[in-house]
């Protein structure tokens, strides 16, 4: 950043008003890199020079970001002569340049971003960006699927234009219903007016998320905290991502789509964590901390060989495989498809794009999952690492699947949830879309660095909200 005036530096860091800090400087109470400075207009490099007031260092933060769990009864304003404002709830009241990003009504609770980053605030609030805002509401009246269809088309709330399409999910439909709603604009009293348009009344409203930022369960109402660097980076990426892309763009030149299964089509990776604990526990072992990383991408057979060698088990490799299959069969039958998977598969079929699976799991478990969900006919080939020499991150299984589908690697798009799988797809010279999964949440940055696209769910693809990396 460019150099800034010393009095501005100190005032923005809450040392006092501009006139107060000028007086402090002139009295010789301020040093820059150990030298007393008595001229308020002196320029300082906030990143390289050390500013001290009365012997204590004053660190400069150019941009700050707070997440507030706004309670009801507080207004979303920087100052108000009669009401308590959201800024009054922050523990650090020194800064004079903070403001809430958007407004929550006085009686509305939930997530509110407070910052001094005007550029980011503009991007998050810009109607052209269509940034998701998710709400939870209690509604007087029975909310129906017909309401959800109306919201999905856009609602006439008396403005010049109907609202943008919104996603209404019904949690309970009674005389007092519970719902979640995702909107992509921020009109005045929008959620309340949308329900009024269908003859119902919002009696409680709470914002759960804005873009990639979600209200954590451990942040009590009225409390706030600074955003982590990861949260800040995700928000900025979210704004860039919100330039909507059509599915046609992603699938241009693509003749086949190949999916990993575990963590990609189904949220099943936790099953193997449980099995590792149970299985190794029988032989007196605890699960090593680095085990997950060590076996990532290995085929079913390679993993069994690794266990046999590392833990000196009194079992043959085939016996280990059969034990794991017996332990996992019933667990797998209870695992749902990830949100939007079926719809995306059907869309690929409609477009005439060939579809395959290239999994590190056993063929028996893969086929049982497809059969249990009734989607086996949506796949043109099902391949596992057992059919090739090396598991992931080697490209073998993806190249083999492409061969079975009769397409060139460059004509394929891969969906994967872990870095080793993404790397396998890239080594096969294929485009790769990384898929959000709780099991690999700590690897998000690595996944983004390797992949071409990123989705939080398959509905991102159908709505054009996937991220181009």
The residues annotated with a catalytic role in the active site are 105
- Whole-angstrom distance, CA of residue 273 vs CA of residue 292: 8
Q: Are 398 and 386 in contact (CB under 8 A)?
A: no
Q: Locate tokens 């959800």: which residue?
A: 148
CA 464 from chain centre, in angstroms, equals 16
φ and ψ at 304, to 5 degrees?
-65, -40
Classify burial at 309, counting beta carbons within 10 Å of its beta carbon; exposed 0-12, middle 13-18, buried 19 or more. exposed
Please give the torsion angle defined by the CA atoms of residues 103, 106, 107 and 108, in that order, rounded to the nearest 10 degrees: 20
295: which residues sit within 8 A by CB, 6+ positions away? 302, 303, 306
Q: Are 338 and 265 in contact (CB under 8 A)?
A: yes
Q: Locate tokens 């999952």: which residue?
A: 369
Angle between helices 300-311 and 317-333 (to 10 degrees): 120
- Whole-angstrom distance, CA of residue 26 vs CA of residue 44: 16
- Whole-angstrom distance, CA of residue 436 vs CA of residue 460: 11
Angle between helices 229-241 and 118-125 (to 10 degrees): 50
- Whole-angstrom distance, CA of residue 265 vs CA of residue 361: 13
Closest of 37, 104, 108, 94 to residue 64, by C-alpha: 94
């Amino acid at each position: 950043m460019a150099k800034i005036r010393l009095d501005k530096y100190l005032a923005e860091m809450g040392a006092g008003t501009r006139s107060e800090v000028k007086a402090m400087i002139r009295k010789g109470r301020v040093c820059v890199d150990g030298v007393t400075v008595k001229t308020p207009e002196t320029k300082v490099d906030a990143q390289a020079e050390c500013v001290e007031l009365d012997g204590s260092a004053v660190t400069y933060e150019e941009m700050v970001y707070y997440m507030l769990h706004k309670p009801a009864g507080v207004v979303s304003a920087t100052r108000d002569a009669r009401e308590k404002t959201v800024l009054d709830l922050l523990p650090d009241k020194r800064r004079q340049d903070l403001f809430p990003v958007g407004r929550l009504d006085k009686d509305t609770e939930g997530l509110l971003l407070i910052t001094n980053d005007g550029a980011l605030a503009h991007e998050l609030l810009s109607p052209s960006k269509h940034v998701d805002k998710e709400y939870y509401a209690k509604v007087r009246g029975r909310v129906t699927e017909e309401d959800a269809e109306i919201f999905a088309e856009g609602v006439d709330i008396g403005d010049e234009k109907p609202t943008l399409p919104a996603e209404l999910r019904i949690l309970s439909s009674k005389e007092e219903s519970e719902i979640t709603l995702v909107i992509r604009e921020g009109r005045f009293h929008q959620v309340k007016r949308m329900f009024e348009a269908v003859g119902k009344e919002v009696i409680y409203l709470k914002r759960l998320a804005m873009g990639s930022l979600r209200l954590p369960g451990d942040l009590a109402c009225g409390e706030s905290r600074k955003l982590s660097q990861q949260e800040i980076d995700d928000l900025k990426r979210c704004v860039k991502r919100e330039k909507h892309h059509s599915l046609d763009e992603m699938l241009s030149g693509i003749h086949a789509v190949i999916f990993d299964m575990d963590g990609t089509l189904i949220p099943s990776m936790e099953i193997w964590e449980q099995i590792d604990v149970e299985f190794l526990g029988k032989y007196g072992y605890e699960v090593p901390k680095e085990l997950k990383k060590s076996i990532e991408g290995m085929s079913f057979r390679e993993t069994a060989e690794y266990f046999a060698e590392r833990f000196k088990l009194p079992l043959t490799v085939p016996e280990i495989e059969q034990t794991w299959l017996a332990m996992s069969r019933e667990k797998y039958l209870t695992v749902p498809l990830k949100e939007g998977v079926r719809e995306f598969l059907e869309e690929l079929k409609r477009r005439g794009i060939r579809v395959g699976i290239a999994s590190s799991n056993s063929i028996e478990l893969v086929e049982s999952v497809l059969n249990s969900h009734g989607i086996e006919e949506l796949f043109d080939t099902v391949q596992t690492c057992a059919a090739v020499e090396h598991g992931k991150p080697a490209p073998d299984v993806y190249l083999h699947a492409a061969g079975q589908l009769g397409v060139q690697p460059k004509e394929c798009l891969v969906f994967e949830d872990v870095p080793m799988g993404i790397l396998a797809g890239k080594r096969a010279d294929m485009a790769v879309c990384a898929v959000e999964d709780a099991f690999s949440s700590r690897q998000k940055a690595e996944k983004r660095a390797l992949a071409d696209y990123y989705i939080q769910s398959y509905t991102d693809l159908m709505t054009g909200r996937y991220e181009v990396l």
